[in-house]
Amino acid sequence: MSIAREEVAHLARLSRLALGEEELDHLAGQLDQIISAVARVQEVAADGIPATSHAVPLVNVYRDDVVVPCLGAEKALAQAPAVDQQRFRVPRILAED
Amino acid sequence: MADLAATLVPFDEVVSRYDPLIGLETHIELGTVTKMFCGCPTRFGAEPNTQVCPVCLGLPGSLPVASRAAIEYTIRIGLALHCSIAESCRFARKNYFYPDMPKNYQISQYDEPLCTDGWLDIALDGPQPGGGVEHPRRFRVEIERVHLEEDTGKSQHVGGSTGRIHGADYSLVDYNRAGIPLVEVVTKPVPGTGPLAPQVARAYVTELRDLVRALGVSDVRMEEGSLRCDVNTSLAAKGSEEWGTRTETKNVNSLRSVERAVRYEIERQAAVLDAGGRVVQETRHLQEDTGITTAGRSKEEAQDYRYFPEPDLVPVAPPRDWVEQIRAALPELPSARRSRLLREWGLSDLDMAALRNAGALDLVAETVAAGATPADARKWWLGELSRRANDRDLDLADLPITPAQVAAVAGLVASGTLNDGLARQVIDGVLAGEGTPEEVVAARGLAVVSDDGALAVAVGEAIAANPEVAQKIRDGKVAAAGALVGAVMKATRGQADATRVRQLILEHLSQS
Amino acid sequence: MDSELTGMTAAALAAAIAAGEVSAAEVTEAHLARIGAVDAQVHAFLHVAGDAARAAARAVDEQRAAGEVLGPLAGVPLALKDVFTTEDMPTTCGSRILEGWQPPYDATITRRLREAGMVILGKANMDEFAMGSSTENSAFGPSRNPWDLSRVPGGSSGGSAAAVAGFEAPLGIGTDTGGSIRQPAAVCGIVGVKPTYGGSSRYGLVSFASSLDTPGPLARTVLDAALLHEAFSGHDPCDSTSVDAPVPPVVAAARQADVSGLRVGVVPELGGEGYQPGVMARFGEAVELLESLGAKIVDVSCPHFSYALPAYYLIAPSEASSNLARFDGMRYGLRVGDDGTRSAEEVMALTRAQGFGAEVKRRIMLGTYALSSGYYDAYYGKAQQVRTLIIRDFEAAFEQVDVLVSPTTPTTAFPIGERADDPIAMYLADLCTIPSDLAGNAALTVPCGLAPEDGLPVGLQIMAPVLADDRVYRVGAAVEAVLADRRGHALLDEARGLDEARGIDNG
């Protein structure tokens, strides 16, 4: 087994996914198989091989410090589930930043 | 959670048995016109959610594009702190969920910061505590890194009793601040401060603030949030080889609070250790009003941010000639400026310290630049104006009088148009908003009376009114002239040149 | 006649509109009618924008009447994968979490298509957040293959492919991250292209895997795909990963269609066991065809290609786990469980659990795992190193040959439901397409026949170096021309899946 059910439950919490018990069981089994399969990358000897994060190497892409028109509060809030005093209203936050 | 003060060990006792270790992480909001990754303006105080776009709102499909200006400003800060500037570095995603972060990750830098390995020298002014033991007055704070990231939005917590998170019913989020460029300056741990740890922390933040302000890259106002500080504190028993567990006190909002936070943590941690306990590695919050710190989220299980290189951005590889251009254009840094002024004004270290402590250095320098002598400039700012500022509970810089105006007043005294007493009245007038010094002089008729004819009348009247005194003077008791001078000054409402009045009195009486 | 119009290529339609033989309005109306007739069965579209399309078509007609010079595809309609933001249409990405979301801005691709005078008929169905190879992961039901409605049209751009194969639109726009344009195009018997990564713009393309996502064209001919490619490609300053280089001359290459003297490499790692025999048979014939046209064929081993699939299924979910974190019910989209007692954390978790489908959840958790401290080096870090080795395999290969070829996907269209709960079996559909996503180079699929066992389309994949997109069009067009000639009719004429016939003689 490459990953235990508890660890999958932990991953779900980290990812903010409130999975039901049956769902968790099912996904845990599948994740176990998938992780075994992808672990194959470890077979490749890659000492000294640099990682690639971009296939086409670009550097130094910038923009000028010039104002561009904003969306406007109306458009910004138009699709919000809850709005109050021109701000996004969200449920009480438990954690501190 | 109750805000109970913990048990404390008195500071002096702590530092006789423990060595404190401090570290500081300072966030500086850059003063660029636009945000880090989009063209929204950064102006403070706009209506909520009016300075947002798909990018800084993190809308699906939006992409960041890095601001060249923000990178330049960061390099400026790095160079002023004697850092090495990376040949190539990348942005990274710091992943965590929080409603003031629209993407639920923050674009920051992780293992490839833009600037590394610098230092900032600080000097402590004034008498040193811990009497009897020699402590160095100067410290070199080593800088681990300076990196660039984006700021978060702002939440207002509604419904709880104190406006804080605990017990709030809901929160309102404004994303105007989201995406503003933020520079993070991280020090290496600063050992060897001993009993000076709290002052060293404060002096470091002060010096850093002044440096950044001189660079013109941020207005670094702690009260507006463009300069924010997290302070790390730990204790090690004297003679121990290992450092203790540190706590992080977050969002310390004033220079005074920096000092208090360190001091409090030292006292609190000592009590924990003395009782045989273990200092918990945690985030703490300073209560500004009481000066105590309280526990926040526990850091026993450090948050895993799952950093990885930001795939929506490409590496930042500042060409060396650009870096050298930035270096060449650096303005005179505060420490260099202080040394120069020290020499130019011929001041002692103590005099200079007094100026800095009063927050008067820049004001005096500008007053000198406007034509006053250093001595006059210092006299007015540290004397009369400091008193006025204290009376009104203001910082010197916030008094409604400019250095140029102060120089003008000093000039009027030097030319004999005003004496010190009149000059004080002119300053009152300027502070009251009556206009420039010249306008106040004219409007209030405050110029020294220099017309001998008018003075002679006043002298004659004073002599006539005080015949006994006059006789003493005729008899040779010249010192008695002081009383007559006083009478003339009173009669002229202080608008006479006392020296000239005395001359006239003596001439008059020796003539008679 | 309507069915005449819907049976025409984009190039022919554009020419007819430009010549005044038919109006853009008529063309749009004909396609809307076709959608009305067949989409209940095909389910290619999540949203049909009838009024907006008619208005756009009308505008083209007015401009043409006023004598304005219009772009080469003005008036031609298309299906736009529902992963691109559109200000006047909903954008769901095939997910409940964005059901009904109407973006406040157009993607750059959307804007460029509009500016080219093209008519967006609607938003095409897709696997949720582009994760899948069958469109069965769409929260709104799968699309169906016009060749056989009980089979998948491939994915994740299955809706775009089905629309084009079903003659609901002459053109489609999709995105390719692991094969999501090429694989559906192959199993639907049409042309699909993954341009060089960065060749256009991802601004407004809802990210799945940022370093892999590539917008691309789907069409019934190679020339049509080339015309569309040029219409939307080019550097975008709003996308830092967009390449600032001229668009390769793909239309000219499609017209040139000449392969004599070309060196063609066959990759042994992309074939053999696990590949449907009929697919290998048609592939082999395509290679022989190329040889008969004057190409020189060699075997070129790319040893790390067999690690491409696991590397991809680490890199893509890792980036996705971060990209999809923003969907939390706080600012837009679905919000679940906010009854006044729950915390933001709980509401986020409930929203995401209900709003995301199973595959998305799998990949988010897999990505979270691969990026976790303690696992990063062994998984994500290692996968990015494997990526470097794959890039080097390509570089070495392209020193020996001008293009590489392989089957596009190991099997023909599989039945709906067959792999739905078998993620690993589903992932195998991407075996041949993934290497080019990891390396970022251009790749095209062109139909090369029907598999004898099931009569379903097989695709030939052609791969070229980074920024050499024109090469894949040149080769694809050459193969297409010969096969069309031999066949004597369009391949799609043999598609019998839809009830309503196209209405013209198949002779």
pLDDT tens track, chain B, 512 positions: 444 567 899 999 999 999 999 999 999 999 999 999 999 999 989 999 999 999 999 999 999 999 999 999 999 999 999 999 999 999 999 999 999 999 999 999 999 999 999 999 998 865 555 443 334 478 999 999 999 999 999 999 988 666 566 667 899 999 999 999 999 999 999 998 999 999 999 999 999 999 999 999 999 988 888 999 999 999 999 888 888 899 999 978 899 999 999 999 999 999 999 999 999 888 899 988 888 888 876 544 568 999 999 999 999 999 999 999 999 999 999 888 888 888 888 887 777 777 877 778 888 988 988 889 988 999 999 899 989 988 888 888 888 899 999 999 999 999 888 888 889 999 999 999 888 998 888 888 887 776 777 888 888 888 888 888 888 888 888 888 888 888 888 888 888 888 888 888 888 888 54
Top-confidence residue, B483 or C451: C451
Q: What pLDDT does B418 receive?
A: 87
B64 Cα to chain A: minimum distance (Å): 10
Q: How far apart are CA B147 and CA A32, in angstroms?
A: 38
User: Is the Cβ pair C368, B306 closer than 8 Å?
Assistant: yes
Q: How far apart are CA C45 and CA C42, in angstroms?
A: 8
Structure tokens at C408: 């596009």
Cβ neighbours of C319 in A, within 8 Å: none
- Please indicate, yes or no, if residue C502 is contained in any of the structural domains: no
The closest CB to that of B314, out of A59, A67, A88, belongs to A59
User: Is the Cβ pair A81, C338 closer than 8 Å?
Assistant: yes
AA identity, residue B308 = F
The closest CB to that of C439, out of A12, A23, A55, belongs to A55
| Residue of B49, B68, B97, B174 to mutate, interface with C, max C Cβ within 10 Å | B97
Q: Would you identify the CATH topology of the domain B452-511?
A: Arc Repressor Mutant, subunit A (1.10.10)
Rounded to two decimals, what is the model's pTM? 0.89
- Please indicate, yes or no, if residue C128 is contained in any of the structural domains: yes
The closest CB to that of B61, out of C85, C330, C348, belongs to C85
Structure tokens at C97: 């979490």
- Please indicate, yes or no, if residue C311 is contained in any of the structural domains: no
Cβ neighbours of A13 in C, within 8 Å: 349
- Per-residue pLDDT of chain A (97 residues), as tens digits, is 788 999 999 999 999 999 999 999 999 999 999 999 999 999 998 889 998 877 778 999 999 999 999 999 999 999 999 999 999 999 998 766 5
In angstroms, the Cα distances linking C322 to B341, B444, C212, C215 are: 53, 70, 14, 20
C238 Cα to chain A: minimum distance (Å): 9
Q: What is the DSSP track for C416-481? A: TTSSTT-HHHHHGGGTTTHHHHHH---EEEEEEEE-TTT--EEEEEEE--TT-HHHHHHHHHHHHH
Q: How far apart are CA C121 and CA C123, in angstroms?
A: 7
- Whether pLDDT at C359 is above 90: yes
- Which residue in B has a C-alpha nearest to residue C208's C-alpha? B61
C306 Cα to chain B: minimum distance (Å): 24
- Which residue in C has a C-alpha nearest to residue B165's C-alpha? C343
Would an 8 Å CB–CB cutoff place A81 in contact with chain B? no
Q: Convert the pLDDT of each residue in C283-326 to its tens digit.
A: 999 999 999 999 999 999 999 999 999 999 999 999 999 999 99
Which ranges in chain B are annotated with CATH 1.10.10.410? 452-511
* Angle (CA) B32 B38 B44, round 5°: 45
| Residue of C88, C322, C324, C365 to mutate, interface with A, max A Cβ within 10 Å | C365
Three-state DSSP state, B361: helix
- Please indicate, yes or no, if residue C145 is contained in any of the structural domains: yes
Name the average pLDDT for chain C.
95
Length of chain A: 97
Question: Residue B227: beta bridge partners?
Answer: B28
C348 Cα to chain A: minimum distance (Å): 6
- Closest by Cα among B117, B333, B322, B94 to B211: B333
> CB of B213 within 8 A of CB of B220?
yes
Q: What pLDDT does B129 receive?
A: 52
- Closest by Cα among B67, B115, B66, B75 to B323: B75
Range of the domain at C72: 2-256+441-494
Q: How far apart are CA B183 and CA B177, in angstroms?
A: 14
Q: What is the DSSP track for B483-504? A: HHHHHHHHHTTT-B-HHHHHHH
Q: How far apart are CA A71 and CA B27, in angstroms?
A: 28
> CB of C204 within 8 A of CB of C110?
yes
Q: What pLDDT does C23 receive?
A: 98
- Specify the number of domains making up chain C: 1
Q: Convert the pLDDT of each residue in C62-85 to its tens digit.
A: 999 999 999 999 999 999 999 999
User: Is the Cβ pair B65, A63 closer than 8 Å?
Assistant: yes
Q: What pLDDT does C505 receive?
A: 38
Q: What pLDDT does C371 receive?
A: 96
Q: What is the DSSP track for C65-105? A: HTT----TTTT-EEEEETTB--TTS---TT-GGGTT---SS
Q: How far apart are CA C103 and CA B300, in angstroms?
A: 41
Residue with tokens 């959840």: C361
User: Is the Cβ pair A16, B52 closer than 8 Å?
Assistant: no
> CB of C74 within 8 A of CB of C117?
yes
Q: What pLDDT does B131 receive?
A: 41
- Total beta-carbon pairs less than 8 A apart between chain B and chain C: 100
- Please indicate, yes or no, if residue C499 is contained in any of the structural domains: no
Q: What pLDDT does B338 receive?
A: 81
Domains, chain A, with CATH or none: 5-43 (1.10.20)
| Residue of A17, A64, A71, A94 to mutate, interface with B, max B Cβ within 10 Å | A71
Q: How far apart are CA B102 and CA B94, in angstroms?
A: 13
User: Is the Cβ pair A56, C196 closer than 8 Å?
Assistant: yes
Cβ neighbours of B101 in C, within 8 Å: none
User: Is the Cβ pair A62, B66 closer than 8 Å?
Assistant: yes
Q: What pLDDT does B297 receive?
A: 61
C42 Cα to chain B: minimum distance (Å): 27
Cβ neighbours of C211 in A, within 8 Å: 53-55
Interface residues of B toward C, Cβ cutoff 8 Å, are 54, 57-66, 93, 95, 97, 99, 102-105, 169, 171, 173, 304, 306-308, 311-314
Q: How far apart are CA C169 and CA B190, in angstroms?
A: 68
AA identity, residue C74 = A
Point out the residues of C that are catalytic.
81, 156, 180
- Closest by Cα among B413, B407, B397, B487 to B446: B413
User: Is the Cβ pair B57, C331 closer than 8 Å?
Assistant: yes
Cβ neighbours of C84 in B, within 8 Å: 61
Helix orientation angle between B349-357 and B334-345, rounded to the nearest 10 degrees: 130
Q: What pLDDT does A2 receive?
A: 81
- Please indicate, yes or no, if residue C71 is contained in any of the structural domains: yes
C322 Cα to chain B: minimum distance (Å): 7
- Which residue in A has a C-alpha nearest to residue C348's C-alpha? A16
Cβ neighbours of B102 in C, within 8 Å: 326, 331
Mean pLDDT of C181-203: 98
Dmax over Cα atoms in chain B, in whole Å?
101
Q: List the alpha helices (DSSP H) in B81-112.
A: none
Q: How far apart are CA C456 and CA C279, in angstroms?
A: 10
- Closest by Cα among C25, C21, C104 to C63: C25
User: Is the Cβ pair B60, C103 closer than 8 Å?
Assistant: yes
Top-confidence residue, C132 or B416: C132
Which chains have 3 or more CB–CB distances shorter than 8 Å to chain C?
Answer: A, B
> CB of B408 within 8 A of CB of B437?
yes
Cβ neighbours of C391 in A, within 8 Å: 52, 55
- Which residue in B has a C-alpha nearest to residue A90's C-alpha? B171
Top-confidence residue, C403 or B361: C403
Residue with tokens 């341009």: C195
- Please indicate, yes or no, if residue C86 is contained in any of the structural domains: yes
In angstroms, the Cα distances linking C354 to A17, B59, B132, C97, C351 are: 9, 20, 69, 8, 5
Fill in the DSSP letter of residue C389: H
For residue C24, the domain's CATH number is 3.90.1300.10
| Residue of A15, A30, A79, A86 to mutate, interface with C, max C Cβ within 10 Å | A15
- Whether pLDDT at C234 is above 80: yes
Q: How far apart are CA C52 and CA C90, in angstroms?
A: 12
Structure tokens at C347: 């509401």
Among B248-257, B335-344, C31-40, C90-99, whose mean pLDDT is lowest? B335-344
| Residue of A23, A40, A41 to mutate, interface with C, max C Cβ within 10 Å | A41
How many secondary structure helices (H) and strands (E) does chain B include? 17, 15
> CB of A5 within 8 A of CB of C272?
no
The closest CB to that of A11, out of C196, C365, C387, belongs to C365
Q: How far apart are CA B337 and CA B436, in angstroms?
A: 30
